[in-house]
Structure 1
Amino acid sequence: MTTPDVTVVVPIYNSEPWLDDCLSSVLAQTAITLEVICVNDGSTDGSGRVLQRYADQDPRLTIIDQPNSGQSVGRNAGLDAATGRYLVYLDSDDFWPGDTLAALVREADEKRLDVLLFDCFAFRDGDVSSATWTRYSTYYQRTREYRETRPGADMIADMRRHRDYRPHVGMYIARTDYVRRIGARFIPGIVHQDNPYTFRLLLDADRTAHIKSDVYARRIRPGSTITTLDDEKSAKGYFLSYVAMAREVDGRTFSPQVTDMLSEVVYGVFDGAQKRITVLPDDAIASLKALDSGIDAQIALRAMMSVRGRSRR
């Protein structure tokens, strides 16, 4: 069988209202061979029926059914099943507004890239609070293009220097054999899982580039992961993400300029955990302590909790 150019992994949980937008945008891509892996994460609405309708009409689409296990487990399942040369993730309530995938593959092939990054625009769908919309309306827009090929650590540093670093997992395509070679995986059971996955993917990459093109459309809506976060889930996600990212850079050597910017990225995740830990009750703190018994993790948690202690005096 011919190896597809791209595997698109779509994790799905109760996404019936948006699945047509999502899947039709993928299957409309031209001048490219596709494999679309839809991981149905125990949906209880009509998502399964929509998926089956598309699978009956288009052999490029495959359904993996799993008990409700979370987005990370779904993405890992899609990664394990992927046969395409490149891998890209798409959330089931989002879509691609144009026929752009073939151009991305040409760019990645011509430059022999491990990872090719692109941009995204957000749009408001439903009664989203003004504060949430203000935060995300331009968040996914980078201020410039980073088209010159460079190592991934340099890419992180350059983007962070210009406040353009965005870890959202839908904003790049990656060479599948590279992803598997470095063993990149999503941490199961957490939110903010994009942070350690994208960081690891770029940190190990020899060749990355970026094009300033809005390939991805991000739906900001009530009831989504980013609009329904509670402090405990967010603290857990940031804490485990920070530990994973700190372990990735431990023992590596970079230039002073790159080290400074990588430190800012990692500290940003630490700060995210710390801010949420300050408001957590004692039983939630106890559950965080049980997540990782490593000395480095426990030291990090104590440092995060120091602000909590001062805020309660």
Structure 2
Amino acid sequence: MISVIVPIYNVEDYIEECIASLVSQTDPDFEVIFVNDGSTDLSLDRAKISAAALKQYKFIDQTNGGLSVARNTGLAHVSNDYVMFLDSDDFLRTDSIEVLKSAIQKHNSDLVLFSAASFGEGVDAREIQRLDDMYCRHSSLFAKNISGVEFLSQALSQHVGYIKSACLYVFNRTSAPELRFIPGIIHEDNHFTALITLASRRVVSLNEQLYCRRVRPGSIMSTTISDKNVNGYLESSKAIFRELQNSNDRTRRKTIELLTADCLWQAFTSALKLPSHNESIRWVSSVKDSGLSETVMHWRLKQRLFWYLPQLARLTLELRNNRNRVSR
């Protein structure tokens, strides 16, 4: 019923723990697709030894193309209708597959959402708590079996947010069989999870931390802001907004606008946080000239003020960051 896609790239210190969590699942009936994305260390060798204890698995070896390309390769090779992603430095709770299968069968769901617990190496405890809060689903949306459009509409209009991490979704790939990750960017999950949720007829959100997310220095999650962050959010915003062309339903159109606005805000604030003032101004201009400004009306009043006064916004963020550093 479920295929797990595991991209592998230079994680020789973590891959065995990742695979051990798959081997120890209480329900062993699932498929694992390992995609070695051009690793230059011992990741592949260690993975092959550890994976021998799995019931059903396959390895695909390719030149390095990045996380999006590796996941897309996995999607092209899965055998089951339901798919989930597991990053190779993370691991699953031992009953994750069993819990997810039960939810799919009980609710006849196209999409099941769940939460993550974060843990770190040399990471401040407050940062771990912040990430735990970020990767936990909001209680107001638990146990509702509703359409993806309705789920997103509620999450975004209530300002409770929704988790964009693709690793916290198990989805029926037949809902959007051609959907793929945007290659060559970071924050690629924003576009993918938005569109798979929009395409799902029945969505259920679980009050379960089934995923264990590692925070380590140098990971995508923990690096400082760069132009790659801005570009990733901006390209995702544009791709989401293009879905308006395929929709005449009023609620769906508004939800797409809300999704675009949410992602555009992340692009805008990332541009404001760039260390170089000149780069910040350049990227702010790129965001403002992206053709997505009509979605800004969905921002809160303070956010819209920042849009029209970006210099004030940058100063405000700098003062806030300085205050946070002093408080630590």
TM-score greater than 0.5 by the shorter chain? yes
Percent identity over paired residues: 28
SS of 1:210's partner is strand
- Deviations 1:30-65 (Å, cap 9, x if unpaired)? 334221111111111210111121244446221111
Alpha-carbon distance, 1:297 to partner: 7.7
Post-superposition CA distance 1:169-221 (Å, at most 9, x none): 011211132241xx211000111111110000011111111111111111122
The match for 1:189 is: 184
User: Which segments of 5 or more consecutive residues in structure 2 lack a partner in the other structure?
Assistant: 297-305, 315-328
Match of 2:238 in 1: 243
Greater fraction helix: 2
Residues matched between the structures, number: 298
Correspondence 1:44 to 2:40? yes
Give the distance between the partners of 1:98 and 1:197, measured in 2 at CA.
Answer: 26
Match of 2:269 among 275, 278, 282: 275
Which one of 174, 195, 199 corresponds to residue 177 of structure 1?
Answer: 174
- 1:299 aligned onto 2:291: yes
The verdict on how the C-alpha distance between 1:297 and 1:247 changes in structure 2, with shifts beyond 3 A counting, is farther
Contact 2:148-2:201 at 8 Å conserved across structures: yes
Structure 2: which amino acid aligns with 1:266? T
Gaps of 5+ in 1: 290-295
Q: What SS does structure 2 have at the residue aligned with 1:11? A: strand
Q: Give the TM-score normalised by structure 1.
A: 0.83
Q: RMSD across aligned C-alpha pairs, in angstroms?
A: 3.1
**Structure 1 Cα separation of the partners of residues 151 and 260 of structure 2:** 15
Mapping of 1:216-231 within 5 angstroms? 216-231=211-226
Contact 2:83 2:171 survives alignment (8 Å): yes
Q: For the residues of structure 2 that align with 1:35 and 1:272, how far apart are their CA atoms?
A: 35
> What is the DSSP-based 3-state SS (H/G/I as helix, E as strand, rest coil) of the residue aligned with 1:246?
helix
Q: 1:311 to 1:143 in 2, by over 3 A?
A: closer
Answer yes or no: is the 8 Å Cα contact 2:112–2:203 preserved in 1.
yes
Rounded Cα–Cα distance in structure 1 between residues aligned with 2:42 and 2:33: 18
Query: Does structure 1 residue 78 correspond to structure 2 residue 74?
Result: yes
AA at the equivalent of 1:34: F
- Displacement of 1:232 after TM fit? 0.8
Residue-by-residue CA offset, 1:243-285 (whole Å, 9 max, x unaligned): 0111124544234xx7666544321211111223344656995
Letter matched to residue 171 of structure 2:
A
Q: TM-score, normalised by structure 2?
A: 0.80
In the alignment, structure 1 residue 168 sits paired with structure 2 residue 165 = yes
For residue 266 of structure 1, the aligned residue among 260, 269, 290 is 260
1:201 aligns with 2:216: no
The structure with higher relative contact order (CA 8 Å, sep 6+) is 1
Distance 2:171 2:3 in 1: 10
Cα distance between partner residues in 2 of 1:46 and 1:297? 45
